[in-house]
Structure 1
Amino acid sequence: MRVLIVEDDTSLGMFLQKGLQMEGHSVAWVGDGDAALERAATERPDLMVLDLGLPKRDGVEVLEAMQGLYRGMGVIVLTGRAQVEERVRCLNLGADDLLMKPFSLHELTARCRALLRRREQYADPSLRSADLELNRMDRRVTRGGRPVDLTVKEFSLLEYLLQHRGRCCSRAELLREVWQMSPDAGTNVVDVYVNYLRRKLAVGGDASAPVIETVRGGGYQVGRAIDAPGPPNSTCAHPVPRMSVSGPTLAGARYGA
């Protein structure tokens, strides 16, 4: 799941980013309301974890600006405000859930999973390409009806490629989005894990039709976009890097306002 954290407290933002990354999510973090709206418009995250007390534009104003625009995006509001009227207003503006500060990281991650389950009751949780199917709810992968046993990181990599099927994903993009590493980290971990996936996905599948193709220009691609006519792209774009930060050690699981 792609998560956007909107929190102006640097230590809390880094803590939440690290904790949700450890749950296997792709997590971005911004520190003000204007940046939150920009990211929501350009990246369409699955979930926004939104603090109310923000600079430039507070959380309530963010909810007002987003109202009716991003129906597929869940919103969990973090607040230390005790007023019932304020919390009710957030729910009326489209927030799916609220969490009072101080809160437990375990409770936040559980609420994220619960929200995802509720939303996926009304959407297909599976990603497919030819005879390959990945179920995000059950975290299960099959090819040709046969189960494929993947590690957490292998699953995350395949999930990202399937979410962007039909488009070349550069090594830099995969490093940033799947490993939360700098695009210039100087590592071949992407190629290593693609090879792991290819070996595992070859079992029970059509060896003449590889699931993951190498694209000239420095990246990888799965299948063809569902809504994209014509042949797949033959070149690989390199997106502009986004902010990447490393969180502090997850020692202590509660944070207050």
Structure 2
Amino acid sequence: MTTDATEAVRTQARADCEALLAQQPWLDVATRALVLLVRPPALAWASPLGTPSIWMIIDASEARSLPPRQRDPLVTGGSYHETAARGRYELTVFTSEGIARVLEGVPRTSLEFRWTIRHAEPLHDPLHRADMLSGSAARLPSDAIERVVRPLYVQAASALHALMRTPVESPAETTLLLAGEAAGALARLGCVLAEGSHPPAEYLMPAARETPLGQRIASWLDDLGNAVVGEARAARWVRESCTGVLREAETALRAEYAGHDWLEDPEGYALRPGR
């Protein structure tokens, strides 16, 4: 879902894509290339600010026909990145094989790629690959969700407990670190529970606020900024609310994972050696 706020950016991106594919070295691969606009994402809350980012996906066999500047990083690493002239947009080219490798697992990079692909706008798709790629990005191994949410919940719990223990008068950097770690883990947790992936950091908070968990802890998230800069009321309330915030995260997980040791005692789980 796009908005009027980003329509001018999207219109310019379509024109930039057409111009890009009309010139070498990309002209020779244009008939099979998939081109996506990934920044801004195709979502209602997306902002028109920031440099647009375009991804092009080609097969490795086509990458081998490109000049060395593009060919070498694509063949050896699966990607090539450049900033276009005049700084109008960023271009990253991937091989389809490289993208497939990233989507095989569920580490943070894979989850961010999955989210980015699912919320991208196709600019050029002559072989109708975009839907298939989005479908691949949405599919997860059967046990993947627990492998993702477990460390996120444990991380959030550890950070929230540490934040509760720190005095209101603690240095701002201490509050920033603990609150930021807790908020980041909770935001990723909310996104993963809602759709099986999460965005890169630049889109994490607006995306998380659209999720059920994000909406339930919205008032806590709202006060984090004031707490970090030392506003006394906010600093106290953010600490006092940590137990309730963690309870909301636990509730979101309990239906599926009740009785799991990491959910019942996350701090104890975090201290176990040899996992």
Higher relative contact order (CA 8 A, sep 6+): 1
Bigger fraction of residues in strand: 1
TM normalised by structure 1 equals 0.28
Greater Rg over alpha carbons, structure: 2
TM-score, with length taken from structure 2:
0.27
Bigger proportion of residues as helix: 2
